[in-house]
Amino acid sequence: MKKFIINGGKPLKGEVLVSGAKNSTVALIPAAIMGNSPVSLDGVPDIADVKALIEILEDFNCEVSFENNHLVIDPEHMVNIPMPEGKIQSLRASYYFMGALLAKYGEGVVGLPGGCSIGPRPIDLHIKGFEALGVVIENQQGAIHFSTPNGLHGAEIYMDVVSVGATINVMLAATMAKGKTTTENAAREPEIIDVVSLLNKMGAKIKGAGTSTIRIEGVDELTGTNHQIIPDRIEAGTYLTAAAAIGQGVTVKNVIFEHIEGFVAKMGEMGVQMDIYEDEIYVHPAQEDLAMVSIKTMPYPGFATDLQQPITPLLLKAQGEGTIEDTIYPKRIKHIPELVRMGAQAKVLNDQIHLSGPSCLRGAEVTASDLRAGACLINAALMAEGRTDLYGAEHILRGYDKIADKLQHLGADIELVEE
């Protein structure tokens, strides 16, 4: 078991570099197996989810090398075998292998996906989209068996709910289906554009990424290529929040402002002073007169669900009362009892978070229930008086590349220890 030990109250100062996007990477890696020659990915974050995906690639007999955030995947000698259930249970994003295996082989066996426990995240939309493309699906003993007795074919698909996962998964399968596929009410997140960018470099014919309508003309084969992953907008938001709460002048580098425009606007509404440049944001020294705001998460370009937890400690520093309503994952509330243990004036009523500030946070023993709750508790511990022992560090290491090292470089007193 790993935990973070954080002695709070240390001001942050200097520069921090944002890594490549975790939510892109976990889709780009399965997409890479669809080619017939090596794919090179630059800017791959060194996180637990990537290591889990690499293990799955190696089980498929792909040749893989990963060093200094550079990942090379060679699928030339790949073998389509049932995906081991234990590894599938370790991360949600393993479901992208469904679409990739369908495109490459027309069949496969995939265990039901795991990942963070933040409430139900059904894959019904994925299955509905696959079935429209001609896929026959059976659930046998906790694993999904899928086949295409008549081959993959294009279709008109309408997503009942805006879903990043379903949009990407169906797109992967449709990339090598016969004919044309149109997906309406598609998700618009930057990570989808990133995946489409890779696929088109490999020879796919996809248009409309970043809009609600994606059009795909199926191709017979894909080839290897090189690709630079976009910066992680959630990691950027996490560090921007910490800088606003306890910084003495922090520059967050490798940021695409347009990807977090709604988040930055909400921080500006609170009174946080920032200077925005082409690929970095400077956060002025922390202020004590911040205004409380209310947040409602929405599909992109709205306020990201992955950022509502990391920003919560900053809201607790603000004056007044506010609410957080997560319309994407309403059960994403498990960080609140832990914050209350640290002295937060917060409660949950009918899945809506109610906050009162300013709250004076104190160090405590707390546990991260999921990835973004962990980021929230790190930010809270940086602000708190005294020592915090943050258990469940494994969740945080799933998605944040060298987070302890980066925060130490800014002046934080944080250490990752193993018990």
User: For 43-77, what is each residue's pLDDT tens digit?
Assistant: 999 999 999 999 999 999 999 999 999 999 999 99
**What 8-state DSSP symbol labels residue 153?**
B
pTM for the model? 0.95
Per DSSP, which regions of 213-335 are E strands? 213-217, 226-228, 247-253, 274-276, 280-283, 295-297, 320-326
Backbone φ and ψ for 203, nearest 5 degrees, come out as 115, 5
Q: Output b/e per residue, 242-258; b: 16+ Cβ within 10 A.
A: bbbbbbeebbbbbbbbe
Q: Pick from 93, 88, 98, 108: which is nearest to 130 by CA?
A: 98
**What 8-state DSSP symbol labels residue 271?**
T
Q: How is the beta sheet containing 413-418 ordered, strand by strand? A: 365-367, 387-391, 2-7, 413-418
The residues carrying an active-site annotation are 116
How many Å apart are CA 275 and CA 308, to the nearest integer? 22
pLDDT in tens, 267-278: 999 999 999 999
Q: Pick from 126, 132, 62, 116: which is nearest to 96 by CA?
A: 126
379 is in an annotated binding site: no
371 is in an annotated binding site: no
How many Å apart are CA 370 and CA 375, to the nearest integer? 9
Average pLDDT on 135-155 reads: 91
pLDDT in tens, 367-402: 999 999 999 999 999 999 999 999 999 999 999 999
23 is in an annotated binding site: yes
Q: Return the axis-axis angle of helices 48-59 and 22-32, rounded to nearest 10°.
A: 10
- Are 263 and 237 contacting, i.e. CB atoms less than 8 angstroms apart? yes
Kindly list the structural domains of the chain, giving each domain's residue range(s) and its CATH number in brackets, ordered by start: 2-19+231-418 (3.65.10.10), 22-228 (3.65.10.10)
22 is in an annotated binding site: yes
pLDDT of residue 234: 98
Average pLDDT on 168-179 reads: 98
Alpha helices in 148-219 (DSSP H): 164-174, 190-201
Q: Does residue 352 register a pLDDT over 60?
A: yes
Backbone φ and ψ for 302, nearest 5 degrees, come out as -75, -175
289 is in an annotated binding site: no
Q: Pick from 224, 214, 111: which is nearest to 157 by CA?
A: 214
306 is in an annotated binding site: yes
Q: How is the beta sheet containing 345-349 ordered, strand by strand? A: 295-297, 320-326, 352-357, 345-349
122 is in an annotated binding site: yes
Residue 119, sorted as left (phi over 0), alpha (psi -120 to 50) or beta, turns out to be left
